[in-house]
Amino acid sequence: MSEAIEYERVGDIAVLKANNPPVNALGMDVRAGLIAGVERAEAEGARAILIYGGGRTYFAGADIREFGKPPTKPYLPDVCNRIEASPLLVVSAMHGTALGGGLEIAVSTHYRIAVPSARMGLPEVHLGLIPGATGTQRLPRLVGVEKSLDIMTTGRQINAQQALELGVIDGIAEGEPRDIGLTYAQELLDAGAPRRAVSEMPAPAPIDFDAAYDATLARSRGQISPAYCVRAVKAACDLPFAEGVAAERALFRELMETDQRQGMIHAFFSERAVSKLPELEGVAPRDVNAIGVIGGGTMGSGIATACLLSGLNVVLLEMTPEAAEAARGRIEGNLGGAVKRGKLSQDKYDAITGKALTLSTEYAALSDVDLVIEAVFEEMGVKKQVFTQLDAVCKRGAVLASNTSYLDIDEIAACTSRRGDVIGLHFFSPAHVMKLLEVVVADATAPDVVATGFALGKKLGKVSVRAGVCDGFIGNRILKTYRTCADHLVLDGASPYQIDKAMTGFGFAMGPFAVADLAGLDIGWATRKRLAPTRDPRERVPTYPDKLCEHGNFGQKTGKGYYDYAGGKRGGVPNPQVMELIEAERAELGIAPREFSDEDIVRRYMASMVNEAAKVVGEGIARRPLDVDMTLLFGYGFPRYNGGPLKWADMQGLPALLDDICGYAEEDAYFWQPAPLLEQLVAEGRSFDDLNKEAA
């Protein structure tokens, strides 16, 4: 018998305990162990079988690490069917998270009981898949088509109470899973309860599947697996069980071959790998309980909100009592939003605003905080003043962090007497919502300060990425390059609207021009002015966006930018002045506009992003390609199903991308300088993912 499933006999009941930490994933040994356990129970004359998970959870799903490799027997759907086919009474006792294949095993057993904290779901869509172990055939028979489609197409988890109400489980009981399972199984035996097979239940009533398919496809912004769930569930209505299972298997296998599946599984593992850095092994973070935040604008208030929501005490420093009050208003507004969304109770809100938050106008108020984050105006002189003050008032060992989005942290650190304590913690706005945190490590930053940055990120529920110092770090540096590519496309003939459409077609939540309107066009304007004195004369920089700004059109906040937001239209309509300004600039520069297909636009835009990303990795600003991928995914709206720019590049094929870049360089050799790392990988026949694996 496999060690992944432990066998025990308690009276008439055979107990199968999963022993495959950390999450009892249904790898080959577990699958084989389940079948062997059922066979042994039958051979030994047991009357019932109890299945439960050792450690922290029931089965959390198929073993994702096996995906993409040749499947090995016994296959999970066969395991599910074998369990259900047993003449013995089979009971599941669930705790932790019964997800994907785990829930599919559970609904193949005849009765299910769970502890109150148990959660369950079919999250396969988040991996670019559908439930592929009979879940699309069994769950609709159990709870109906609409409810099961909701669970499958969203991948959301339900709690034990909801599962009970839906009929996914039969009971809830407090206690250890083994104990509640044994008690329940014995009760069922004593009551002479019948064996109950979901596959033998009548086929569920159909719905308008064509409409459901179209609606699901439209909702998923280019991701195909949710719509495949609809097709699989339709099979549950149309076909006998066994044929439905075959149809599900065919759809599952089809998805297994897609780039979307590869992209999403890359995202799953990278999201977890991103904060695992060899340099942090064995390095303990410093204790952080009280946080100082300097500056109470949108960013500072967002950072303060994130910290307060995670149970930290915050001292927020502003210049004047009025500004401090305004900051309090912003933070209370953010927290009030969390109460409305059900993320924060009124009691907690009262406690946070009453005690955990202090506002001050005196630096001395920061003398006792463990970590301070400055979020003041992006100007080196201002930052230096702030850090000089912090050096004077903060206690020894306090971490001094800057939220700058591009300034040199080494230079900021140099104005203190404690360079090792200085780090960049770059949040994304709104900081209490956005998941990304760039942890920017300067030359002298001490390892335990880096560890503290990552520990804080974890506490705040962020995806933290290590970045080195350069203008814009990982994310904004790459953004600047693909934005420039978009600007060049506009000068040469595309419209901002066509580019936005092409990039939302690729899967971005918004195109670059709509994003600029949201962020405020004055930001790019200020950056262009800042960089103008040192700009290389070969750089092509359009001037029409400056003209928009000169007329006070800063995007959404002024009602007009690339789009016109008059009439309260959320997405806005194209601002007619924009094309006039563009055409005038093209005429002035003597550019004859040419046609770009949406595909051309995507290809160039992505090539520029990949090329810059390869430079960022090659220069060590990002340690691994996956660090770039997670930055773009969690901070810049990159579609998860494309994995990240460098995973996407691998899937496209690096030689073809490099060829494209070299072709574009014939038009503009300055902008399209191929990244040395990209050239090297192509020459060696390797991929970005090879670099990820080498760094693991």
- Residue ranges binding ligand 3H9 (CB under 6 A): 22-23, 25, 60-65, 76, 97, 99-101, 104, 123-124, 127, 129, 131-133, 135, 272
> Which CA distances in Å does 270 have to 87, 162, 592?
43, 31, 44
**Number of C-beta neighbours around residue 272 at 10 A:** 11
Of 252 and 636, nearer to ligand 3H9 (C-beta) is: 252
CB nearer to ligand 3H9: give 20 or 452: 20
**Cβ closer to ligand 3H9: 51 or 661?**
51
Query: Which residue's CB is nearer to ligand 3H9, number 269 or number 363?
Result: 269
| Smallest distance from ligand 3H9 to CB 513, Å | 35
CB of 206 to ligand 3H9, least distance (A): 23
Which positions ≥6 away from 655 have C-beta within 8 Å? Answer: 682
CA gap 476, 384 in Å, rounded: 22
Structure token pair of residue 243: 């044929």
**Which residue, 79 or 486, has its beta carbon nearer to ligand 3H9?**
79
Q: Which residue out of 44, 66, 104, 174 is catalytically annotated? A: 104
Distance, CA of 537 to chain centre:
39
Instruction: Give the shortest CB-138-to-ligand 3H9 separation in angstroms.
Output: 11
Q: Which residue number, 53 or 181, has a Cβ lying nearer to ligand 3H9? A: 53
Any alpha helices (H) in 274-407, and if so which ranges?
A: 298-309, 321-340, 346-351, 380-393
Is residue 104 among the annotated active site residues?
Answer: yes
Task: For ligand 3H9, give the closer residue by CB, 232 or 677.
Answer: 232
In whole angstroms, the minimum distance from the beta carbon of 354 to ligand 3H9 comes to 32
Choose, from 3, 84, 124, 281, the residue flagged as catalytic.
124
CB of 124 to ligand 3H9, least distance (A): 5
Nearer to ligand 3H9, 60 or 390 (CB): 60
What single-letter DSSP state applies at residue 354? I
- Residue 408 phi, psi (nearest 5): -75, 110
Q: Are 205 and 128 in contact (CB under 8 A)?
A: no
Q: How many CB atoms lie within 10 A of CB 616?
A: 28
Task: Work out how close the CB of 23 gets to ligand 3H9 at its nearest, in angstroms, rounded to a whole number.
Answer: 4
Find, among 678, 623, 640, 636, the residue nearest to 274 by Cα.
623
Nearest to 418 by CA among 455, 438, 392: 392
Q: What is the DSSP letter of 277?
A: -
Extract the tokens encoding 12: 């008439």
Would you call 124 a catalytic residue per the annotation? yes
As measured in angstroms, the least distance from the Cβ of 693 to ligand 3H9 is 14
Nearest distance from residue 126's CB to ligand 3H9, in Å?
Answer: 6
Give which of 395, 482, 409 is closest to 443, Cα–Cα: 409
* Positive or negative torsion for Cα 166, 168, 172, 175: negative
Per DSSP, the residues of 429-489 read SSTTT--EEEEEEPTT--HHHHHHHHHHHHHTT-EEEEEESSTTTTHHHHHHHHHHHHHHH
Q: Which residues of 493-511 are buried (b: 16+ CB within 10 A; e: fewer)?
A: ebbbbbbbebbbebbbebb
The set of catalytic residues is: 104, 124
